[in-house]
Amino acid sequence: RNTKKQPKMEMVVTAIAGDLVNRFISFLIKKHESHANLEKKVERLQQLLLRIHMVVEEAEGRYITNSRMLLELKRLSEAMYQGYHVLDTIKYKALCSTRDEKKEFVVLVGGCER
């Protein structure tokens, strides 16, 4: 009777293991796609900030008397600095994430037999 349960148990374990592997692979694929998408957005943000910075510098070098134009320049400058803050935050989190992944890998490899 035990011998009949053993093959069924092996089938169940194999099915569960297969499902877990599939889920893990799907997770890795989604993480990679998300990371690639984030890289594109970060690159786009960098390009926009460079453009805005050039416009702000050029405008600050001119004599502007229109109060509305000065207000818009101030808003643009504030948005630019907020953009730089977002960019720095994203880079910092990516750096921390990479460092944590390396630590996890070292722990994982450290636990393996050699």
**Structural element, H or E, at residue 47:** helix 2-60
Confidence of residue 114 (pLDDT cuts 50, 70, 90): very low
Q: Model confidence over 35-81: pLDDT tens digits?
A: 778 888 888 999 999 999 999 999 888 888 888 888 989 999 999 99
User: Is pLDDT of 82 > 70?
Assistant: yes
Residue 61 DSSP symbol: T
Which sequence spans correspond to the domains of the chain? 2-110
User: Is pLDDT of 88 > 70?
Assistant: yes
Q: Give the C-alpha separation, 39 to 94, whole Å.
A: 10
Check if the beta carbon of residue 53 is closer than 8 Å to that of residue 76. no
Among 29, 57, 49, 55, CA closest to 90: 49
